[in-house]
Amino acid sequence: MITRERLAADLQEMGIDPRGVLLVHSSMKAIGPVEGGADTVLDVFCEYMKEGLLVFPTHTWATINKMHPGPYDYRTEPVCVGILPELFRKRPGVVRSLHPTHSVACLGNGAREFVLGDHLTLTPCDPRGCWGELHRRNAQVLLVGCGAKRNTFLHYVEEANHIPDRLSAEQVTIDIVMPNGSVYKKKNIFHSSSRGDVSQNYDKMVPVFLREGAMRMGLFGEAKCYLGFCGPMAEITARYLRKDPELFSDDSPADK
């Protein structure tokens, strides 16, 4: 069985800044058998990042979408991206953003400020919201056993660089239940591309990120991890998108 001591050592070995901002995409299954299960994993992350800001994606695009436009209640809407974020959002002190499809949950320094105003954004990864805030704070992104196709931050980079054919043309009104119980009617645009799910091609940037120091590899339990840094990842990806706006439209190597 994998112990909490081993998991804590794995985070330290990867060189994660405990006073910075850390976003975690995760596969609990990939981590392996852990003493105490998922709660132990979350305990390790919370303890390691106690002087920083810990963030998990709490996406709900599988249940809040064009066919089912809410209401979205941040207190009760379940996560569609794994057991760790679902358990994390329910922990004492955790703050969840009000974005109806691409919310995040935060614990630590500046958590409330980090999610402030996320319900006012228009797109899934609007630069004015939490995904842009990751860039502004040069956050760390840890992909735990789920591969680099799950690097949602690159959706933000595409939006910030105005890549065409990535968002739906129509706007859908979604009801968001606010903390005081009132309902905010939000205009929302969804991810949509004639190329299909372009995030399936995000992993093509891994060799580039590793070569240019924007990402490193590590282990967390039995899970293969990628640790990326938002500032360099955004800068490098933008450079490649300027040369080829269709970069993620297929799975050909980034360095063709």
* Token code pair at residue 199: 């995030």
**Predicted pLDDT at 222:** 98
Give the phi and the psi of residue 33 in degrees, each rounded to 5. Answer: -75, 115
**Predicted pLDDT at 55:** 98
* Cα 96 to Cα 88: distance, rounded to the nearest angstrom: 10
Calculate the alpha carbon distances from 2 to 13, 24, 50, 222 in Å. Answer: 16, 19, 22, 9
* Cα 72 to Cα 91: distance, rounded to the nearest angstrom: 19
Task: Express each pLDDT in 92-115 by its tens digit.
Answer: 999 999 999 999 999 999 999 999
68 pLDDT higher than 90: no
* Cα 239 to Cα 237: distance, rounded to the nearest angstrom: 5
* Cα 181 to Cα 110: distance, rounded to the nearest angstrom: 24
Model confidence at 40, pLDDT cuts 50, 70, 90, reads: very high
Q: Is 255 exposed, middle or buried (0-12, 13-18, 19+ CB in 10 A)?
A: exposed
Output the DSSP codes for 80-147: SS-HHHHHHTTSTT-EE---SSS-EEEEETTHHHHHTTGGG--STT-TTSHHHHHHHTT-EEEEESS-
Contacts of 241 (CB under 8 A, 6+ apart): 157, 158, 161, 163, 247
Mean pLDDT of 112-121: 92
69 pLDDT higher than 80: yes
| Backbone conformation region of residue 219, classed left if phi is above 0, alpha if psi is from -120 to 50, else beta | beta
Task: Express each pLDDT in 160-210 by its tens digit.
Answer: 999 999 999 999 999 999 999 999 999 999 999 999 999 999 999 999 999
Contact between 16 and 236 under an 8 Å Cβ cutoff? The reply is no
- Map tokens 């852990």 to a residue: 34
1 pLDDT higher than 90: yes
* Token code pair at residue 190: 């969804």
Contacts of 118 (CB under 8 A, 6+ apart): 97, 98, 99, 103, 104, 129, 130
80 pLDDT higher than 80: yes
84 pLDDT higher than 90: yes
* Cα 86 to Cα 105: distance, rounded to the nearest angstrom: 10
Mean pLDDT of 46-74: 94
Write down the pTM of the prediction. Answer: 0.96
Model confidence at 67, pLDDT cuts 50, 70, 90, reads: confident
Model confidence at 142, pLDDT cuts 50, 70, 90, reads: very high
Contacts of 44 (CB under 8 A, 6+ apart): 4, 7, 8, 11
256 pLDDT higher than 80: no
Respond yes or no on whether the N-terminal peptide bond of residue 71 is cis (omega within 30° of 0). Answer: yes
